[in-house]
Structure 1
């Protein structure tokens, strides 16, 4: 399995590969609008396409340099790319949205956990 985070700025690509994806959760709004019609048994339904994914993911890094590079990628102010060879359905272009945190693992004091709130773009 290979997960990667990447960005391209000024024609230069930066790529980092975490040791492991620790977590992934997404939600999508349906955007369907349902109107109650007075005197009718059935509502009026306006079908709309769902929104793009929003959620959080967590990555584990075995060194500070890679963790800091990943932090730079997700906070660069431009869309980043997440790719996973074992789970291609997770691949996306995204921007950080909400909270981003980088934590040193208390037990090992060598592993780093990056948690990212994201919005697919």
Structure 2
């Protein structure tokens, strides 16, 4: 599987060994009003784009630090994945990017990225 995250500002690309975690959700923005006398009225609004968390694994420390630096840029990013094209998106970082050494192996590195998909 080939996964790539590329910065839109030209800062570069990172290729994690594997995207070990992908979670996503879409927030409904519908508004529901209780009516006097019973019943409800609704206002239907398009949901927000996807948001969630990516967990990226790297075999080498230098690659993980490079990913942390790349994802710290003032940029939007493009995620592509040849095996799972449905996860592809344009996103911005939405929170703290974490870098961690794997507790079990003490060999691999994990970069955790909270994201917000953006419409382009």
Q: Normalising by structure 1, what TM-score?
A: 0.88
* RMSD value, Cα: 1.5
- The answer (yes or no) to whether the contact 1:7–1:13 under 8 Å persists in 2 is yes
Q: Which residue does 1:16 correspond to in 2?
A: 14
Q: 5+ residue gaps in structure 1? A: none
Q: 5+ residue gaps in structure 2? A: none
Whether 2:75 is the aligned partner of 1:78: answer yes
CA distance in structure 1 between the partners assigned to 2:76 and 2:23 by the alignment: 19
Give CA-to-partner distance per residue, 1:99-120, whole Å, 9 cap, x none.
Answer: 2111112333321101111111
Structure 1: which 4+ aligned runs deviate by more than 4 Å?
Answer: none
1:1-121 matches, within 5 Å, as: 1-9=1-9, 12=10, 14-41=12-39, 43-121=40-118
- The answer (yes or no) to whether the contact 2:11–2:70 under 8 Å persists in 1 is no
Count of residues paired in the alignment: 118
Give CA-to-partner distance per residue, 1:53-88, whole Å, 9 cap, x none.
Answer: 111110110112221221122110111111111111
Q: Normalising by structure 2, what TM-score?
A: 0.89
